[in-house]
A and B are shown apart, each in its own frame.
Chain A
Amino acid sequence: MSETAMDRREFIRRCTRAGVCVAAAGSLGVAFYDSRAPAAIPGPTAALTLPDYSVGPLPGRICIARGVDRKRLVRQAFAALGGMQAFVNPGERVLLKVNAAFASPPGLGATTHPDLVKAVVRLCLEAGAKKVTVTDNPINDPASCFALSGIDAAARQAGADVIVPRQSLFQRFSLTGGRLVRDWPVLAAPLLQADRIIGLAPVKDHHRSGASMTLKNWYGLLGGRRNIFHQDVHTLIAELAVMIRPTVVVLDGTQSMITNGPTGGSLSDLKPTGTLIVSTDPVAADAAGAALLGKQAQDLPFIARAEKAGAGTTDYRALNLKEIKAI
């Protein structure tokens, strides 16, 4: 009698256990059941939108300053446009997109000059910026680029942070209406943590696109195998012009790289052109800067394409143009 009772209890215990196991396995199987094979192309990742950093609907402003000293040039040019406070409000976070593409010393002009970086950081801080960050996704090893170009030291000295790109700072981005920038990794983290963006670009010859100035400078916000875009570089630059609506750009043509661009590598590639352009319209800045390379805006197809895409105007004289001589 007692034996049977034991057995029955044992039996029920086993049955329950088996039942629970079957139910667990069954529900796992059914829950994760997938009658369809995975998609050919993994679905689009979370949509990323980039803010518009430009200063409201004011008509574009541009200042062409002549001189040799970058620090003075940039101060006086900004002063002519109403001072940095016209672009940066107190408490805002500013991102400076420099051109740090190559691990090359500042004297060779392949990268944004550290003096310029320093001066603009100070201007921003004086205007009350809460935080100034400097970034770029260079072609050569990022850490070496920032160190050798002198940008890292200059930025830190002046009180800015430097963001050296890492995998985790990129996010996939699709430009609305874009053909090339589709589901492409973009250096998103610094962009999303900024209220204002200032582009700081040197004037350089560029064998493929004709010139590397403020528009081409946005290339450094792309990640991935971006050099595939060289197959259609002008369209790409025009798309970048739509993608980034900067607060203001600074085009540094105190020295211009006339030959052997965009890497240069010799002092003989440089020519003193004594010009610095500050503009709220990068298309206008590049159109004006083309002259420094002995070219005209219409020699550079990306300028026309950017204008057509609505990123700005090539007719920089029609803007509120100031021309000054730095003293």
Chain B
Amino acid sequence: MRIITTRRISQTFFFLLFLWFCAVSTLGEQVWQLRGWPVGWLLELDPLVGLGTLLATGTLYAGLLWGLLTVVLTIFLGRVFCGWICPFGALHQAVGWLAGRKRSAAVQIAANRYRPAQRIKYVILIFLLSGAAGDFLAWLLDLSVESSIAVAGIAAASLACGIAAVRVRKAFWRRWTTVLVLLIIGWVGLGFLTDGSRLLAASLQTGLLDPLPLFYRSVNLTLLPLLDGRMAAFSSPGRLYPGSVAIGLLFWTVVLLNLVIPRFYCRFICPLGALLEILGRNALYRMGQKPDGCTACGACDRHCEGACDPSTTLRSAECVLCMNCLDRCPHDVMGYGLHPSAAGEMAGPDLSKREFTAALVSGVAAVPLLRLSGGVDANWNPAVIRPPGALDEANFLRRCIKCGQCMRVCPTNVIHPAGLQAGIEGIWTPVLNFRVGTSGCQRGCIACGQLCPTAAIRPIPLDERLGRGEFADRGPIRIGTAFVDRGRCLPWAMDRPCIVCQENCPVSPKAIFTREEFRPVRLSGDLRLREMVEDRLLFDGPALPAERFATGDYFVTLEESPDIAPVRIKDIGSGGISLAENPFVETASPGARITVRVKLQLPFVDPSACIGCGICEHECPVKGRRAIRVSAENASRDRQHRLLL
């Protein structure tokens, strides 16, 4: 079998596996729906997820250890992941091939030649990783302040070395000791400058461009919902994701760029590719030319997926191991092995010192700049309601890779990709939108945390969510608190009975309770008693339409009988108002004023019982801006948001 056939089979396999994982990440009855499939495995295999969270949190969470497999493979074999496994790479390769297959050889060669701009992906990688390394950096700088004796020791020693080196008059040693001394001075100086700086923080943004989270997110949130239909129900229920247009735009842009340059994303943007390039720079096995036989026919350059100039000096780090050159070479010159390429090879693009430093420094500086908004601090946004089990905001931003797994699996479609409400750092992180979906956040559901590959949403047991068993003393997990907007609430503001919210409150005993009030209704004129016939009151005044007032919620009181509780209206007809009983016979006399009162149950929220599930908000019949809304106050994920003692 031809090697590229094998590669295509591998690519197809992983591509289909990826689609399968996306499709099955939904709760349902069907055999194919979430039955312990390792749906996040491809994300875990992505070492950029592992490295990013490792830098940001100092831990490598559970399944992310899989990334090590990719790392080892890359060190030995080069970028097999890019050429053989990555489903996003496969998509790019397919689209690029489709777009270019009819083009002339010269055009294809031109499209596939190496371009210096391919080093941009390093800039992106370094920028994103240094943003994630803020805490690590803070720790390093703290170290310089905390153990200043040690630092002074090192400084003295290096100074001594420097003096010795100058004495030795070796230019090489002189340079290096100067650099060392400057580094130490800079380290200690910066340490003092940033001592106690609360802004130096880590923010994991690799997921914005990391191919696997990007692909998962795009398919989960913009493709499957579109494909959902009568033929194939990919999600129960049909999905809405407000704000996902930006996700789709990014996706289609990078896919369509293949029409201009094949594998545009892989060559210029992909930070994972850049990471694997670095790891695979000195791979044991690599593509290369055998010593004799090359006629410079260009067949290899024409089909090179990595744009790494196989016909001349091969840029081995750029090579994605598509093996097209090996297959296409009519003279059998290309080989994959331990030998360096006969025509010469070099690792690949290198950043200049200046570019490297610029990317690093801007990445480190970007996060403190973003944190100045105070979004994880005094200026936290109560509209950002995170799924149950989500970590506190600062830790959440250290982990979330915006893969959208939680949004995909959420059975009620209540988890959505954030726009700007969680700050620029929080773009496409999960927030709850109770207006959308089938209901609020189901009390008995813990699906999102089970799928989150990074534990940005912790995998909580149901007992923890409900606050029972060993978690009884902590109480249930609260994601926010519902607040009644008395200016919009039907009973509170408009004298109309309602309390849908109270009925739907799933907590037991209910977190929404009511207090009864009889309020006089607004009529166009006074009602005066003309005559009383048993349980009927005949009256003068404006008509009382039975369809409104004889519903059982309306009552009357009489002016002269203040002590008599309101009496329910049974019916209204030509004979006047029929009452359920008539206690007024004793006291009332003709001419007395009749007041029609509506019995209202006014909703109140008990904040110690409310878990913020948002079902009330979802169900509230005031459909525009709901009259009861959840906000993040009292969410258990951050003690700073505590509302009650």
CA distance A270 to B62 in the complex (A): 65
Known pairs A29-B60, A29-B68, A32-B59; A18 contacts B282 (CB<8 A): yes
Q: Which residues of chain A are near B68, meaning CB under 8 Å?
A: 25-26, 29
Set of chain B residues within 8 Å of A232, measured between Cβ atoms: 645
B366 CB-CB contact with A under 8 Å: no
Of A35-43, A62-70, A118-126, A144-152, the one touching chain B: A35-43
User: In the complex, what residues of A have CB within 8 A of residue B59's CB?
Assistant: 32-34, 38
Name B395's contact: one of A22, A34, A38, A224 (CB within 8 Å): A38
Whole-angstrom distance between the alpha carbons of A28 and B62 in the complex?
14
Contact status B71-A25, CB under 8 Å? yes
* Contact status B75-A22, CB under 8 Å: yes
Is A15 a contact partner of B284 (Cβ separation < 8 A)?
Answer: yes
Q: B60–A34 contact, CB under 8 A?
A: yes
Interface assignment of B134: CB less than 8 Å from any CB of chain A: no
Q: Please state if A228 and B65 are interface contacts (CB–CB under 8 Å).
A: no
Chain B nearest CB: distance from A33 CB in Å?
5
Q: Is the CB of A37 within 8 A of B458?
A: yes
A21 & B75 in contact (Cβ 8 Å cutoff): yes
Closest-CB distance, A234 to chain B (whole angstroms): 12
B458 touches A18 (CB 8 A): no
Which A residues are in CB contact (< 8 Å) with B640?
224-225
Cα–Cα distance between A229 and B643 once the two chains are bound (Å): 10
A180 to B645, CA, bound (A): 7
Which chain A residues in 1-48 approach chain B with CB under 8 Å? 7, 10-11, 14-15, 17-18, 21-22, 25-26, 28-30, 32-38, 40-42
B451-473: which residues lie under 8 A (CB-CB) from chain A?
Answer: 455, 458-460, 464
B276 at the interface (CB under 8 A from A): no
Q: B620: CB under 8 A from chain A?
A: no
B645's partner among A28, A32, A168, A228 (CB-CB below 8 A) is: A228
The CA of A267 and the CA of B33, in the complex, are separated in Å by 74
**A9 to chain B: closest CB distance in Å?**
12
User: Which residue on A lies nearest to B62, using beta carbons?
Assistant: A35
Q: Which B residues are in CB contact (< 8 Å) with A42?
A: 392
Asked if B2 CB lies within 8 Å of chain A CBs, one says no
- Docked pose: A168 CA to B62 CA in angstroms: 35
Minimal Cβ-Cβ distance residue in B for A166: B196
- Which of A28, A32, A167, A231 has most B Cβ within 10 Å? A32
B50 touches A40 (CB 8 A): no
Query: Chain A residue with minimal CB distance to B477?
Result: A40
Pick from B60, B62, B75, B464: contact of A40, CB under 8 Å: B464
Interface 0/1 of A164-188, CB less than 8 Å to B? 0001100000000000100100000
Secondary structure of the B contact surface, majority rule: loop
Given A25-B72, A29-B60, A228-B642, A37 contacting B455 (CB threshold 8 A): yes
B230 to chain A minimum Cβ distance, whole angstroms, is 39
CA distance A183 to B640 in the complex (A): 12
> B54's closest neighbor in chain A, by CB?
A32
**Closest-CB distance, A215 to chain B (whole angstroms):** 19
Q: Which of B618-645 contact A (CB under 8 A)?
A: 636-637, 639-640, 642-645
Contacts of B102 in A (CB 8 A): none
Q: How far is B638's CA from A25's CA once the two chains are assembled, in angstroms?
A: 34
B575 within 8 A of A: no
Chain A residue nearest in CB terms to B458:
A37
Q: Are A22 and B72 in contact (CB under 8 A)?
A: yes
Q: How far apart are A147's CB and chain B's nearest CB, in angstroms?
A: 23
Contact between chains at A29 and B50 (CB < 8 Å): yes
Q: How far is the CA of A29 from the CA of B459 in the complex (A)?
A: 21
In the complex, what residues of A have CB within 8 A of residue B340's CB? 10
The reply to whether A41 and B639 form a contact with Cβ atoms under 8 Å apart is yes
Contacts of A29 in B (CB 8 A): 50, 60, 65, 67-68, 71
Q: Is the CB of B196 within 8 A of A17?
A: no
Whether the pair B196, A168 counts as a contact (CB closer than 8 A) is: yes
Is B138 an interface residue, CB under 8 A from the partner?
no
Across the interface, do A231 and B644 meet the contact criterion of CB distance under 8 Å? Answer: yes
The interface residues of chain A lying within 8 Å CB-to-CB of B460 are: 40
- A23 vs chain B, min Cβ distance (A): 10
Question: Shortest beta-carbon distance, B634 to chain A, in Å?
Answer: 11
Q: Is the CB of B284 within 8 A of A40?
A: no
From B62, B282, B339, B644, contact of A17 by CB (8 A): B282
From residue B622, how far is it (CB to closest CB) to chain A in Å?
Answer: 30
A–B pairs, 28, beta carbons within 8 Å: A7-B338, A7-B339, A18-B76, A18-B283, A21-B279, A25-B68, A26-B68, A28-B54, A29-B50, A29-B65, A29-B68, A29-B71, A32-B58, A33-B59, A35-B62, A37-B449, A37-B458, A37-B459, A38-B455, A40-B474, A40-B636, A42-B392, A167-B196, A180-B645, A183-B639, A225-B642, A229-B645, A231-B644
In order of increasing CB-CB distance, the 8 nearest A-B pairs are A37-B455, A34-B59, A37-B458, A29-B68, A168-B196, A32-B60, A25-B71, A21-B75
Given A18-B282, A22-B71, 7 new contacts (CB under 8 A): A18-B284, A32-B60, A33-B60, A38-B458, A40-B464, A228-B642, A228-B644
